[in-house]
A and B are shown apart, each in its own frame.
Chain A
Amino acid sequence: MRTLFRFHGGIHPDEHKLESSESPARRAPLAKKLVLPLHQHIGNGAKVAVQVGDRVLKGQMLAGAQGMISAAIHAPTSGTVTAVAPHPVPHPSRLGGLCIHLESDGEDRWIALAPLDFHAMPKSELLGKLRDAGIVGLGGATFPTHVKYGLAPGQRIDTLVINGAECEPWITTDDRLMREHAEGIVRGIEVLRHLSGAAEVLVGIEDNKPQAIAAMRAACAAAPIEVVVVPTLYPSGGEKQLIRILTGKEVPSGGRPTNIGVACNNVATAYAIHRFVDHGEPMISRQVTVTGNVRVPQNIEVLIGTPLAEVVACAEALPGTSGYILGGPMMGLHVDDLHLPMVKSANCIIAKSGQLFPPPPPAMPCIRCTRCAQACPADLQPQDLYWFAKSNNFGKTQEFHLFDCIECGACAYVCPSHIPLVQYFRFAKSEIWQREREAQSAEVARERHEFRQFRIEREKQEKAERLAQKEKAALAAKPAVPAPLPVAADPNADPDNTLQMRVDADIARANMQMRIDAAVARAKEQAAIVQPKNTDDLTPHQQAEITEIETRRAKLREIASHAGADDEPSKSN
């Protein structure tokens, strides 16, 4: 028996898992139109690699990874690219994102698929292939998998943690996946074990999933993988929390699991890797729980890009449905618009009804009862964070470790005053980010301004130097011509050389005048070149309009000047 560790706090909300966990997962019918957001993962959006009008095959790459932290997007079915245009995407901002629009031809024809002999290739090549297969973490954060295993020199992974905890209420996709595809998951874990070089592999599953535990144990029997049963306690499926439970180690604040020699991936990610390595299939679909106020709660295998409406239709939403939750009830996103496409992060769709999700009573003042602090898995003091966030004291929120908040919602769940604490924390975080961005751009603007001042100074100085040099050169050249003059002149006629001096001065003055004239002309010319007027390139119609306005103005000015003291010209237009 392995010693398990505890994380601070945690809550026991009603599980609501049985609704959807007892029937086998189905496959959603093929949608006619699919919408594929380019940004389905943490990091840079993918870069479009197809043209509108292209015919593509199922599994063909539509957009490639861009930069280090990014992942590719593939065609979930065969068809035609009809547009690359913004479309609403599931995101808290409710803004649209750039998407590839694909019209399926109904044939669902694959590109040529080939399994991969991952043992035979260098690790860097395998990581590149995972990136190009669009493999990202399916536990919710959609962190590109290849990034987790691209270790810095000197970094080492001792323990690979596979997350099958699935602690959030209502969601059962990992549960079903483990029951039905334990073998495949274990194949995927083998790939991750190879990549990480970890000596120890632990699969953490909450004790409320006995069948999944049995299936995974059976599948792992021959492999050096240990299935560890962890007590059901939300949020034990949080990456940091699960690592703490299984290894006793804490991921340092602001750090990543690799800092303590741990890598963590979800069971669904392992399964996706198996599909890719053993069958050549990139990440084009995932399993999602559809539950809540629906007639047939169930798990459905859905192609990425399928409109959510078609996914929900499989489970038949019941009357009284008032919106949906994409994700779980603790951390999910409220969506009204079912035109949103299925994305890689979506693990659950819950139809909300007033009965299942009654609106919370109005918020009361905080009485500092600290139930939130007792429930916080990050050991924060939510009552203090709330106090500071509410009073816009963002510096203090950072001092009280706002950015260690994982937004699990445990605090708001237990709050007897029903204060929407997580909303306050998200607000404070976004305000701080916004301020940092502003400070950054102000800094850039300041630097730019300072450089401009410096440049102007420098140019002035250079000009002055140039002028002085020219002047010197001119002076040096001048005596060369009239130099013989003093010699040639009659020293008696002009003993003081006054005439000669006057002549020299005249020549110099004339020279100067010429130079000034030339400079003025040059400046005029330059001004004419570099300052195009906004009245250039006008249509004849616009030109006519301008003339008309000019005459009207002239007339007005005339009237005004006649009116004299009456300085309120009538507004004729």
Chain B
Amino acid sequence: MLSSPFITTPGSVSQIMLRVLLALIPGIAAYVWYFGPAILVSIALASVTALATEALMLKLRNRPLKPFLSDNSALITAWLLALSIPPLAPWWMVVVGTAFGIAVAKHLYGGLGNNIFNPAMIGYAVLIISFPGHMTHWLTPHAIGLLELPFADQLNYIFHGILPAGLTLDAVTTATPLDTLKTQLHLGLSVNDIREMPIYGFLGGKGGEMVALGFAVGGIYMLAARIITWYLPLVYLAALFSIAGFFHLYDPAHYASPMFHWFSGAAMLGAFFIFTDPVGSPTTRQGKVIYAAGAALLTWLIRTFGGFPDGVAFAALLMNICVPLIDAYTQPKVFGMKGDGK
């Protein structure tokens, strides 16, 4: 290097991405504890697909393989997607979602750093629109369901689509707590009645709430390690809390509590891992606040009035579109311009 500065920090993109993966581990551990090891299978499947698609696309785009395969960004896409879909989803769904996310949402837009949309959320959107049926069969947490499918049978279903004789998929799976809430509300039950059902725990859904807590722990680690800034996750959670809280106070029978919104579905995963994707989020401080608040509002709206079980993915994609506009209108005053207008 023949031009200043002649020194740099030892950090690198691949190191940052690796730490994000590490931060996902507490949540994944809780997932395995409450729902069994099937999620590890989809994570592995998604990882392999992501790396293979990444390699293929790099080859097609005439880019060097090594620096980009080792930047760990494809793995984040893979893990986030695997964590967003039911672990019992057939293997080809994981493959299709991941490959679409990496090939279309990432590489067709120019690869690392150029994707407008979060590739994992694009993968999720494709799956929930194309195969909505498969996306509703979630594993029941341990010690709740009448029947628990052994791991070997789970594998058999994932790869061959075969269940043990006499069993239906509905018998061994359940809808998500958010989905259940919505359907039961439609049937005329009150929030309190619904929360009495066995799939619900103290904060959200049984098991799911602990997974969300795990993601929050990982998120706090990322904040402490300065991998992400606090503006985005904190404003998102605060805004979601306020909106849900306002309506919950207004009509507790029809609107779930703010804590329920925090610890159900992908709110925690979104707050710390999805909305914080730097490529698709605003760069300015003020912009991050606007983005997070908008994402929270969309999450709550889709969850409460929309047709999809969770709103995080679509909130992320819709807010991704707004980023250039938000950035353009939130440019901070530079040094020496703060006295303007005085």
Residues in chain A within 8 A of chain B (CB atoms): 7-8, 13-14, 92, 169, 240, 244, 250-255, 323, 325, 327-334, 352, 357, 359-362, 364-370, 373-374, 377-381, 383-384, 400-401, 404, 407, 409, 412-418, 420, 422-423, 426
Contacts and interface: CB of A to CB of B under 8 A. Distances in A.
B6 A250 contact: no
Nearest to A350: B6
B280 to A, nearest CB: 8
A357 B7 contact: yes
B230 to A, nearest CB: 12
Nearest to A383: B283
Given A255-B336, A332-B4, A334-B6, A416 B16 contact: yes
Contact of A360 (B1, B327, B331, B338): B1
A413 B7 contact: yes
B283 A368 contact: yes
A8 B16 contact: no
Given A352-B6, A367-B279, A418-B8, A379 B332 contact: yes
Given A379-B335, A381-B284, A368 B278 contact: yes
A365 B111 contact: yes
B8 A413 contact: yes
A377 B111 CA distance: 30
A373 B335 CA distance: 12
B322 to A, nearest CB: 15
A368 B336 CA distance: 25
A404 B114 contact: no
Interface string B322-337: 0000010001111111
Interface in B42-64: none
What are the 10 closest A-B residue pairs judged by CB atoms, nearest first?
Answer: A409-B5, A365-B113, A253-B336, A378-B335, A334-B2, A329-B6, A369-B278, A330-B5, A401-B334, A416-B11
Contacts of A416: 9, 11-13, 15-16
A493 B4 CA distance: 106
Contacts of A383: 283
A262 to B, nearest CB: 13
Contacts of B281: 368
B4 A8 contact: no
B11 A364 contact: no
Nearest to A8: B335
A362 B12 CA distance: 10
B3 A422 contact: yes
7 contacts: A240-B335, A330-B6, A364-B12, A365-B114, A368-B281, A370-B229, A381-B284
A422 B4 contact: yes
Given A370-B283, A381-B283, A329 B4 contact: yes
Nearest to B16: A416
A34 B273 CA distance: 62
Nearest to B113: A365
A413 B6 CA distance: 8
A267 to B, nearest CB: 23
B35 to A, nearest CB: 32
B334 A404 contact: yes
Contact of B339 (A252, A380, A423): A252
B16 A413 contact: no
A404 B335 contact: yes
B133 to A, nearest CB: 36
Given A240-B335, A379-B332, A404-B336, A332 B6 contact: yes
B112 interface: yes
Interface of B is mostly: loop
B279 A368 contact: yes
Given A357-B6, A365-B111, A420-B3, 11 more contacts: A7-B335, A250-B339, A327-B4, A332-B4, A367-B279, A380-B335, A381-B283, A401-B334, A404-B334, A413-B9, A418-B8
B150 interface: no
Nearest to A364: B13
B67 interface: yes
Nearest to B111: A365
Interface in B23-82: 67, 71, 73
Contact of A333 (B4, B12, B71, B335): B4
B337 A253 contact: yes
Contacts of A401: 334, 337
A418 B15 CA distance: 13
A422 B16 contact: no
Nearest to A380: B334
Contacts of A250: 335-336, 338-339
Contacts of A252: 336-337, 339
Given A252-B339, A381-B283, A404-B335, A330 B4 contact: yes
Given A250-B338, A364-B67, A379 B333 contact: yes
A386 to B, nearest CB: 11
B107 to A, nearest CB: 12
Contacts of A330: 4-7
A92 B3 CA distance: 9
A412 B337 CA distance: 23
Contacts of A378: 334-336
Contacts of A379: 332-335
A417 B4 contact: no
Given A250-B339, A380-B334, A381-B331, A367 B7 contact: no
A240 B5 contact: no
Contact of B112 (A365, A377, A404, A415): A365
B13 A417 contact: yes
A401 B340 CA distance: 15
